[in-house]
């Protein structure tokens, strides 16, 4: 097998645009253009009969076939009730995102003249909860790939920044304003050694699309003023799609110019509206302010962890191209932000991470060969045993892959993460009022394991149903109406327990943000209790298998 085939792609699966990168033979991350020769692919899916079309053609088709086109699917990831129906078939968000992944991987392979991609690293907003993350992983699996890791978008941007720009240790704020989400993250970068997330915040429903929507509302209002009509022209799906596209184009032009004409056509009437940058900034000012206040909230949390200062603000995400973003940040923090490769740094960072995983794999494989062990048994080697072979192995991997020994030595990048959400269970307080008791609080370092003891309610209780709640509160006690139910763990108890027997529930959150629950009853026998999480929010079981097989049979272009 050629080494090229073993390459691990980094995928930035965006709300509005997606991109894919890999590390080239010189150890440099490169973005790979799609078949239309664009470096970013619109995350838009057009159901064209039995075929699926993704990208620019799909985006343009939304004007003519608004009911056959799906946009902004990332905003629905992990939503239990989202189904897109087409030709009598139902599609979940994971499957639709899977089509986007298929398209960009396929095009990348074509461009590089390779085939047989297996492994990918996919990014998601730091602010994604458990179900959204799991759904992202499933999207990659449905597309037919082995998802090596889901990493956070700001972490990926920091990896790219850390390996391409930063030379010494620094604490950076990554301000990521994309098409659909806003993430603000404080990261401690130790170049080539570790990337440590200190604190994260944001809003996964705040992005460029909201700026577009404000322009759309403005255009509707101006259209009504000019024509004297009171009609809500957005009820016409064609007009609505057309205005969305025009609004985004106008917004991008205003990044360069002070004003732009926009043509609004509806039911045979054409009105030319001039949109000035000043007006645009005024109608969207509260959105920008929200990013600033979310930044302050995050900084306050970071302060509690002892991080009072940061060295640099890095802007990523296409929406940070709007000049008002840098101006506002400069004004607020008296520091000029660095615009760092806003459209590509996330995919590049994911690719660098994937490349390091690939080099690690090669090292492990060779160490296993040299020591006569199985790859899974390598942790049993003592440091001395490992040192004996490592030097030789590094050179062998260098010869084999063509990368330098120093690249190979630096492949062990540690990523330290925090959880962006709190996780708890529904319980009752002393007044018997329902509350959420948080076992894991947001911005805690992961992996983390927390055990809490709860008493059984009656004699011989057979079942405890634990409602697992995700929320934004930094406190131990949160209000149920501010939390979302992400799943239920049903504990089957041995039938002989007395009322009040403590049952210990353990939440374990891993590096990638996957939650595992185990339980143990603590009577003399101390039996472990079965605790499977049930959720409807993520595709699984039979439905997942069907989606995989259906995806494999569908042509995507």
Ligand X SMILES: Nc1ncnc2c1ncn2[C@@H]1O[C@H](COP(=O)(O)OP(=O)(O)OP(=O)(O)O)[C@@H](O)[C@H]1O
Binding-site ranges for Mg ion (CB under 5 A): 14, 178
By beta-carbon distance, which residue lies closest to Mg ion? 178
Q: Measured from the CB of residue 322, what is the shortest distance to ligand X in angstroms?
A: 5
Select 38 or 255, whichever has its Cβ closest to ligand X. Answer: 255
Per-residue DSSP letter, 498 = P
Q: Please report whether residue 424 would count as binding ligand X according to CB under 6 A.
A: no
353 or 507: CB nearest ligand X? 353
Nearer to Mg ion, 78 or 191 (CB): 78
- Beta strands 448-455 and 502-509, pairing class: antiparallel
CB 72 within 8 A of CB 82: no
C-beta of 277: minimal distance to ligand X in Å? 11
Q: Which of 92, 43, 88 is nearest to 69 (CA)?
A: 43
Distance CA 101, CA 323 (A): 31
What would the two tokens of residue 316 be?
A: 């990523």
Closer to Mg ion by CB, 343 or 512: give it.
Answer: 343
Q: Which is nearer to Mg ion, 73 or 425 (CB)?
A: 73
Strands (E), 113-245: 119-124, 146-152, 170-177, 182-190, 194-203
| Residue 40 or 108 having the CB closest to ligand X | 40
DSSP annotation of 337: P
Q: Is the distance from CB of 346 to CB of 161 less than 8 angstroms?
A: no
Find the binder of ligand X among 318, 354, 424, 513 (CB under 6 A): 318
Beta-carbon neighbour count of residue 221 at 10 Å?
12
Strand partners, 466: 489
Among Mg ion, ligand X, none, the one that 102 touches (CB under a kind-dependent 5 to 8 A) is none
For residue 167, with 0-12 CB atoms within 10 Å meaning exposed, 13-18 middle and 19 or more buried, which class applies? exposed
At its nearest, how many Å lie between Mg ion and the CB of residue 348?
Answer: 12
Q: Is 337 a binder of ligand X (CB under 6 A)? A: no
Q: Judged by CB under 6 A, which stretch of 22-30, 317-325, 520-528, 547-555 contacts ligand X?
A: 317-325
Shortest separation between residue 65's beta carbon and ligand X, angstroms: 22
Between 152 and 163, CB nearer to Mg ion: 152
Alpha-carbon span 384 to 213, nearest angstrom: 61
Contacted by 343, from ligand X, Mg ion, none: CB < 5 to 8 Å by type: ligand X
Strand ranges of the sheet holding 448-455, from the earlier edge strand across to the other edge:
448-455, 502-509, 515-521, 528-534, 483-492, 463-471, 422-428, 434-440, 477-478
Give dist(CA 428, CA 471) in Å, integer: 17
Q: CB of 348 within 8 A of CB of 341?
A: yes
Q: Minimal distance in Å, beta carbon 330 to ligand X?
A: 18
Minimum CB distance to ligand X, residue 20 (Å): 12
Interaction of residue 319 with ligand X, rule CB under 6 A: yes
Please tell me what DSSP assigns to residue 239.
Answer: H
Q: Which of 55, 180, 349, 424 binds ligand X (CB under 6 A)?
A: 180
Residue 46 CB, shortest distance to ligand X, in Å, is 17
Reduce the DSSP state of residue 13 to 3 states and report it: coil
Binding to ligand X by residue 317, rule CB under 6 A?
yes
Q: Which of 71, 97, 181, 551 binds ligand X (CB under 6 A)?
A: 181
Q: Which stretch binds ligand X (CB under 6 A): 313-321, 416-424, 452-460, 496-504?
A: 313-321
From Mg ion, ligand X, none, interface partner of 59 (C-beta below 5 to 8 A by class): none
Helix (H) or strand (E) holding 371: helix 345-371
Quick one: 197 or 464, whose CB is closer to ligand X?
A: 197
Q: Give CA angle at 379 (376, 381), nearest 5°.
A: 115
CB of 463 to Mg ion, least distance (A): 43
Q: What is the DSSP letter of 54?
A: E
Question: Minimum distance from CB of 129 to Mg ion (Å)?
Answer: 17
Residue 311 DSSP code: S
Is the Cβ of residue 347 or residue 413 nearer to Mg ion in the bound state?
A: 347
78 binds ligand X per the rule CB under 6 A: no
In the bound state, the residue with its beta carbon closest to ligand X is 208
Cis status of the peptide bond prior to 447, with omega within 30 of 0: yes
CA distance 472 to 481: 11
Q: Which of residues 11-30 bind ligand X (CB under 6 A)?
A: 14-17
Binding mask 133-172 for ligand X (x = CB under 6 A): ----------------------------------------
Residue 383 C-beta: closest distance to ligand X, Å: 41
- In angstroms, give the least distance from the CB of 223 to Mg ion: 32
Task: Select the binding partner of residue 208 from ligand X, Mg ion, none (C-beta < 5 to 8 A, by kind).
Answer: ligand X
**233-252: contacts with ligand X (CB under 6 A):** 248, 251-252
Residues 6+ apart with CB under 8 A from 169: 188, 189, 190, 191
- Determine phi and psi for 19, rounding to 5 degrees: -150, 165
Give 14 or 55: the residue with its C-beta nearer to Mg ion: 14
For ligand X, which residue of 170, 194, 224, 255 counts as binding (CB under 6 A)? 255
| Residue (15 or 239) nearer to ligand X, CB | 15
Q: Determine the Cα–Cα distance for residues 409 and 406; give it in Å rounded to an integer.
A: 5
Binder to ligand X among 74, 103, 277, 441 (CB under 6 A)? 74
Q: What does 17 bind: Mg ion, ligand X, none (CB cut-off 5 to 8 Å by kind)? A: ligand X
Q: Are 197 and 174 in contact (CB under 8 A)?
A: no
**Smallest Cα–Cα separation from 511: which of 379, 384, 367, 414?**
414
CA torsion 267-271-275-280 (nearest 10°) is -30
Q: Which residues bind ligand X (CB under 6 A)?
A: 14-17, 40, 74, 178-181, 207-209, 248, 251-252, 255, 317-319, 321-322, 343
């Amino acid at each position: 097998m050629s080494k090229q085939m073993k390459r691990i792609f980094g995928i930035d699966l965006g709300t509005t645009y997606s991109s894919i990168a890999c590390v080239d033979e010189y150890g440099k991350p490169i973005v790979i253009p799609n078949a239309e020769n664009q470096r970013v692919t619109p995350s838009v899916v057009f159901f064209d009969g039995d075929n699926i079309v993704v990208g620019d053609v799909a985006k343009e088709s939304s004007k003519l076939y608004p009911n056959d086109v799906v946009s902004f699917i990332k905003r629905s990831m992990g939503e239990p009730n989202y189904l897109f129906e087409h030709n009598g078939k139902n599609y979940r968000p994971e499957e639709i995102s899977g089509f986007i992944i298929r398209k960009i991987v396929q095009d990348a392979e074509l461009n590089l003249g390779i085939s047989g991609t297996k492994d990918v690293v996919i990014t998601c907003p730091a602010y994604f909860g458990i179900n959204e993350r799991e759904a992202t992983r499933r999207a990659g699996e449905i597309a037919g790939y082995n998802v090596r890791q889901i990493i956070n978008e700001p972490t990926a941007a920091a990896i790219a920044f850390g390996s391409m720009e930063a030379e010494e240790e620094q604490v950076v704020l990554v301000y990521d304003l994309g098409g659909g989400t806003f993430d603000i993250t404080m990261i401690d970068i130790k170049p080539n050694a570790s990337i440590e997330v200190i604190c994260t915040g944001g809003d996964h429903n705040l992005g460029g699309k909201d700026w577009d929507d404000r322009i759309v509302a403005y255009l509707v209002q101006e259209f009504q003023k000019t024509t004297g009509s009171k009609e809500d022209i957005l009820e016409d799906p064609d007009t609505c799609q057309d205005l969305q596209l025009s609004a985004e184009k106008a917004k991008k032009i205003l990044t360069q110019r002070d004003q732009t004409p926009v043509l609004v056509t509806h039911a045979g009437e054409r009105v030319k509206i001039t949109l000035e940058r000043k007006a645009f900034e005024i109608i969207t000012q509260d959105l920008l302010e929200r990013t600033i206040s979310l930044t302050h909230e995050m900084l306050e949390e970071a302060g509690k962890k002892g991080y009072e200062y940061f060295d640099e603000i890095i802007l990523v995400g296409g929406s940070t191209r709007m000049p008002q973003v840098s101006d506002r940040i400069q004004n607020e923090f008296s520091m000029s932000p660095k615009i760092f490769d806003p459209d590509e740094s996330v995919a590049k960072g994911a690719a660098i991470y994937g490349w390091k995983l690939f080099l690690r794999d090669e090292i492990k494989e060779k160490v296993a060969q040299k020591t006569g062990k199985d790859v899974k048994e390598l942790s049993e080697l003592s440091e001395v045993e490992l040192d004996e072979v490592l030097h030789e192995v590094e050179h062998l991997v260098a010869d084999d892959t063509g990368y330098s020994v120093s690249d190979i030595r630096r492949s062990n990048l540690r990523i330290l993460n925090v959880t962006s959400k709190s996780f708890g269970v529904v319980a009752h307080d002393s007044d018997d009022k329902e509350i959420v008791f948080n076992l894991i609080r947001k911005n805690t370092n992961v992996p983390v394991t927390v055990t809490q003891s709860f008493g059984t309610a009656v004699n011989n209780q057979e079942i405890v149903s634990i409602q697992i709640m995700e929320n934004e509160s930094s406190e131990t006690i949160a209000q149920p109406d501010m939390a979302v139910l992400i799943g239920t763990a049903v504990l089957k108890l041995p039938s002989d327990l007395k009322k009040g027997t403590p049952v210990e529930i353990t939440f374990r959150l891993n590096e990638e943000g996957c939650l595992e629950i185990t339980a143990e009853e603590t009577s003399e026998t101390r039996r472990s209790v079965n605790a499977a999480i049930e959720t409807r929010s993520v595709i699984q079981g039979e439905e997942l298998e069907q989606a995989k097989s259906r995806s494999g049979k569908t042509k995507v272009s």
